[in-house]
Amino acid sequence: MIYWINGSYGVGKTTIAEALVKKLKKAYIFDPEAVGNAVRDNHPEELIFSYIFEDYELWRKFNYELLKDISSKYDGDIVVSMTLVRKESYNDIIKKLKDDNIKVGYFFLDGDYQTIHDRIIKRGESEESWCMKNVKMCIEAQNNDLNAIHINTVNRTPEEIVEEIIAKSL
């Protein structure tokens, strides 16, 4: 199964992904940011148009193709920790994987502004950081995503959240 963990920057996706991998029998973390860096960093400077990897059609295509390929060859679970705020990303990656009969659990880690703000500050970023400036965009995506299984993260431990993800994956 592919577990896609979505949520705002700073909500705890990486923490949850790492805890989930430890809890599953056989799993590893797939990093779509590495794909994004390869796509964006290999364009000439004048063709770079976004900091958000989702805006690159090739990023969506490469992640879909890589996840499809890995899932056909790997006998464990794949955990993906990546913020998605564009509907095209869901359609071009997750929906296409599901259409290919690949089991995908698509989870959105929900948080309120104050919780996310405090977590970003706790990890050492400033009020002026890129993540902090884009929290409201992420919360809007959270509130509008009807495709995801929403998991409340406010005042909950990573263990509680992981247990809920596993329970809702059965």
Sequence ranges of the domains in the chain: 2-169
DSSP string, 109-136: EE--HHHHHHHHHHTT--TTSHHHHTHH
Classify domain 2-169 at the CATH topology level.
Rossmann fold (3.40.50)
pLDDT of 3-25, one tens digit each?
Answer: 999 999 999 999 999 999 999 99
* Residues written for the chain: 170
- Kindly state the average pLDDT of the residues 128-145: 96
- Kindly state the average pLDDT of the residues 113-124: 96
Question: CB atoms < 10 A from the CB of 115, how many?
Answer: 19
Which whole-number Å values give the CA distances from 115 to 13, 109, 122, 135, 152, in the listed order?
14, 12, 10, 11, 11
Q: Residue 32 half-sphere exposure, CB side, CA atoms within 13 Å?
A: 29
- Kindly state the average pLDDT of the residues 75-96: 98
Spell out the residues 6+ positions from residue 86 whose beta carbon is closer than 8 angstroms to its own. 52, 54, 55
- Kindly state the average pLDDT of the residues 75-98: 98
pLDDT of 170 higher than 90? no
> Model-level pTM?
0.96
Q: What's the whole-number average pLDDT of the chain?
A: 97
Q: How confident is the model at residue 113 (pLDDT cuts 50, 70, 90)?
A: very high
pLDDT of 37 higher than 90? yes
